[in-house]
A and B are shown apart, each in its own frame.
Chain A
Amino acid sequence: MKPADKKAYDKDYAQAKKTGKPFFPYAIYKDTIIAGLTVIATIILAITVRAEVGEPVNPATTDFVPRPEWYFYFAFELLKIFKNQDALTPVIMATFMVPNIMIILLVVWPFIDRGPERRIWKRPFALGMTVIVTGLLCYLTWMGANSPAGVASQGLPLSGLDEQATKGMDVYMANGCGSCHMVAGVGAPGPGPDLTNEGAKGWDNAKMIAWFKAPKAPMPSYASLPPEDLENLATFVNGLGTKYK
């Protein structure tokens, strides 16, 4: 805003204040009503939809969908959007670039949009941002709410499994890998990449086990699995799409 605009605003606001009304009780009564209704709504929610206690933690199995609270679904979905076989750049986009750009934009916004106009219909850019950001957040949250949960119970439609690979598949199922990865169309479509053709990469078991122990975020580490399970799991995953289809 130019100095003249600032002065004009100050003058206008002083005028508004002079012809205004006292905060108490004129504004505080509205505040009290809305805040009171909000607290009552919370109590009603607490009574009707009770907070539950889930399964106790067992770090040895991830037979579980790592699901955040609904207000982080959008971040979770972002991961799926940027997922890719070569996970580095896209994941950094989803976990680092996009969120940080959004946060910086949020904080410095008043220093970007400095014009004197306050009526929303005369600020097309701000109006566009409102619509796009709100729409995107709602859409991603909705996607997150409807994303398939773990599908471990269904089994995988694969053939050609030898004994070791069958054991490996059991490990895969028991540890909820399918809640982030898809194999032959079964499992969640992200945040992890589709593993149907993972074997085509030609990794050996040692390399794969090293990955299980220290994977790139957001995949959790499986270092606590017994070495035998890791070996079987690596055999299974390294044969996907080549030996086991």
Chain B
Amino acid sequence: MTTKDIGPKNPVQKGADATIDFVDERSGVKTGTRWFLFRNIPEGTSWFQTLGFTAMVVFGMQAITGIILAMYYVPDTQGGAYKSIEYITNEVTWGWLVRGMHKWGASVMIIVVFLHMARVFIWGAYKYPRELTWVTGAMLLLLTMFMGLTGYLLVWDQKAYWATVVAVNIFASAPILGPYIGDILRAGPEFGPATLSRFYSIHMLVIPGAIATFIGLHLYFIVRLGISEPPWSKRRLRIERDEEDARRAAAREKAKALPGSVNYPASWPVEAEEATR
């Protein structure tokens, strides 16, 4: 009675295991994934700490819906752009839904990113050692706003067109660099076909690339430094209470040592607090 092979019998599973081991040996994905997923985070992380991840997911949604829109959109100022938007909205199967999601997704992303920033600010989560996480985040906020600005023009309807003319004029009015920025955005001195192509490529190549890069940096910092603990987590409150107790005890000792303070109800504060605990 000899026992031989103790691995799985199923050749498919055997093959899969062998493949994973092969890849892991060379890339370390298994170890890496495990390290990423099973790293410890402080206990009591809150629901407010889900907003960054949500921003990331909404960005992913914008990327997917945006790619689908790009399959039909034509950046043509002679009516082509406008017609292609009409076509997507009225003809393409689910086109109205994809466009609607992309349009609303923009507003949702701005709101989510803003709320995320507010939570980081209120928690003081940008303080040592997370200053650079904040700086990359600030870049992400500006880039997200820029996405909204450049995307608005692509529909090429009156409202978007004139709003964008005004917005670009504002950039162009800045001292020194302004005129150059204006020319770069417009692709020349005037609004025209080249402007639309330029906005299109900025909107779907330049800024998404920059956002993906900064999300990568942002995540690197977050994983490296660890997600911060709520400043009012149970653990923190316990520590603060202990510190407070210690301080009071010390004050009491001091009060006892002072002559003339015999009637001071020395043990009162701590005992009263202990009773309510």
Contact = CB atoms under 8 A, between A and B. Distances in A.
Contacts of B110: 71
A239 B56 CA distance: 56
Interface residues of A, number: 85
Interface stretch (B2-10, B22-30, B152-160, B201-209): B152-160
Contacts of B66: none
Interface stretch (B78-86, B254-262, B266-274): B78-86
A57 B82 contact: yes
Interface string B110-123: 10100000100111
Among A46, A103, A113, max chain B CB count under 10 A is at: A46
A218 B169 contact: yes
Contacts of A64: 158-159, 162
B165 to A, nearest CB: 5
Given A42-B58, A46-B104, A57-B156, A23 B41 contact: yes
B224 to A, nearest CB: 13
Contacts of A205: none
B31 interface: no
Contacts of A45: 100, 104, 108
A27 B227 contact: yes
Interface string A106-141: 110111011111111001001000100010000000
A119 B231 contact: yes
A1 B128 CA distance: 7
A95 interface: yes
Given A42-B105, A50-B100, A130-B121, A66 B162 contact: yes
B173 A95 contact: yes
B124 A42 contact: no
A13 B226 contact: yes
Interface string B155-177: 11111111101110110111100
Given A46-B104, A51-B100, A56-B158, A120 B123 contact: yes
Nearest to B135: A107
A101 interface: no
Contacts of B215: none
Interface in B40-77: 40-43, 45, 47, 49-51, 53-54, 56-58, 61, 77
A19 B43 contact: yes
Given A106-B138, A109-B126, A218-B169, A66 B163 contact: yes
A9 B123 contact: no
Interface in B115-157: 118, 121-131, 134-135, 138-139, 141-142, 145, 148-149, 152, 155-157
A186 to B, nearest CB: 20
B157 A42 contact: no
Contact of A38 (B41, B58, B175, B229): B58
Interface in A30-56: 30-31, 33-35, 38-39, 41-43, 45-47, 49-56
B263 to A, nearest CB: 33
B218 to A, nearest CB: 14
A59 interface: yes
B157 A56 contact: yes
Interface in A206-223: 216-220
Nearest to A52: B89
Interface string B223-235: 0001111011101
B97 interface: yes
Contact of B127 (A34, A106, A110): A110
20 contacts: A6-B128, A6-B129, A22-B38, A22-B40, A23-B41, A26-B41, A38-B108, A43-B97, A47-B100, A50-B89, A53-B157, A54-B155, A58-B158, A96-B174, A120-B123, A126-B121, A216-B173, A219-B166, A220-B165, A220-B166
Interface of A: 1, 5-6, 9-10, 12-13, 15-24, 26-28, 30-31, 33-35, 38-39, 41-43, 45-47, 49-59, 62-72, 75, 79, 91-92, 95-96, 103, 106-107, 109-111, 113-120, 123, 126, 130, 134, 176, 216-220
Given A1-B128, A69-B148, A79-B170, 10 more contacts: A20-B42, A21-B40, A34-B50, A42-B61, A43-B97, A43-B101, A51-B100, A57-B158, A65-B162, A126-B121
